[in-house]
């Protein structure tokens, strides 16, 4: 489902003396349906960078990233938008939404974009919010005013609204209490069981051990830097 071959990436900082910073070289990764792979490595090793390249908001210097058959490194914006709508989901660490949009709608949006009828989309959104213990009295409010943990759960609800065949999870259990952590782990297990290919960053070691079939240390893809 997700196939990465010989992926390289560097940043060119034009406004800082055109410094070229190589951040990844020769990355390989294959994730099949129903498989969950954890990216590991120290902070700054390139876990988030790799995830963003799969998502398509970081450009690759060379190599290929195939998601559901589409090579993200060569795809047009239009193809990536379709990929994100139909195939590839992403639960980032931070919720980014239009202010004043009700939580219920924020969660239903991925389904509305797919053309699901509003009643069905909102019902699914409410079901997820209920599972994630967001009180019903908050559903009509914008999540921008919520606490960090509540925002994270809204973000997760939104990311699981549609059954994406491929999922990227960036610290999905960070800042959650025990009960909610358990709900999120359950959602991830259910996604695996229905055949989703998952790439995740989990600092939560117990979660990683429970969910992940393999670990990939991205330090192996970090280019040697001159001291």
Q: Is there a contact between 88 and 197 (Cβ–Cβ < 8 Å)?
A: no
Query: Dihedrals φ, ψ of 150, to 5°?
Result: -65, -45
Annotate each residue in 186-205 with x if it binds another protein (CB under 8 A) or - if it does not, as one string. Answer: --------------------
The window from 8-16, 29-37, 148-156, 215-223 that contacts another protein (CB under 8 A) reads 8-16
| Beta carbon nearer to another protein, 94 or 224 | 94
| Beta carbon nearer to another protein, 122 or 207 | 122
Q: Does 100 bind another protein (CB under 8 A)?
A: yes
Sign of CA dihedral 148, 153, 156, 157: negative
| Beta carbon nearer to another protein, 50 or 176 | 50
Residues 106-145 binding another protein (CB under 8 A) are: 111-117, 120-121, 123-124
Count of residues touching another protein (by CB under 8 A): 32
124 sits in which H/E element: helix 118-131
- The pair of structure tokens assigned to 147 is 């606490």
Q: Is there a contact between 33 and 1 (Cβ–Cβ < 8 Å)?
A: yes
Residues 156-185 binding another protein (CB under 8 A) are: 163
Sign of CA dihedral 162, 91, 41, 57: positive
Q: Does 78 bind another protein (CB under 8 A)?
A: yes
Residues 176, 177, 183, 188, Cα dihedral to 10°:
40
Residues engaged in binding another protein (CB under 8 A): 11-15, 52, 56-59, 77-78, 80-82, 96, 98-101, 111-117, 120-121, 123-124, 163
């Amino acid at each position: 489902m997700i196939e990465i071959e010989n992926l390289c990436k560097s940043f060119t900082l034009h406004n800082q003396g055109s410094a070229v910073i190589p951040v990844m070289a020769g990355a390989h990764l294959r994730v099949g349906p129903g498989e969950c792979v954890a990216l590991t490595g120290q902070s700054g090793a390139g876990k988030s960078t790799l995830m963003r390249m799969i998502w398509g908001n970081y450009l690759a210097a060379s190599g290929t990233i195939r998601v559901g058959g589409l090579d993200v490194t060569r795809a047009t914006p239009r193809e990536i938008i379709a990929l994100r709508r139909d195939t590839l989901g992403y639960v980032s660490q931070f919720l980014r939404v239009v202010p004043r949009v009700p939580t219920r709608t924020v969660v239903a949006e991925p389904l509305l974009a797919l053309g699901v009828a509003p009643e069905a989309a909102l019902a699914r959104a409410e079901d997820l919010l209920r599972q994630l213990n967001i009180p019903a009295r908050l559903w009509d409010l914008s999540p921008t005013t919520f606490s960090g943990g509540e925002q994270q759960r809204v973000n997760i609800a939104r990311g699981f609204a549609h059954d994406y065949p491929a999922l990227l999870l960036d610290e999905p259990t960070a800042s959650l209490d025990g009960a909610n952590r358990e709900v999120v782990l359950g959602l991830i297990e259910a996604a695996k069981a229905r055949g989703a290919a998952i790439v995740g960053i989990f600092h939560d070691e117990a979660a990683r051990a429970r969910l992940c079939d393999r670990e990939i240390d991205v330090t192996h893809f970090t280019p040697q830097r001159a001291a």
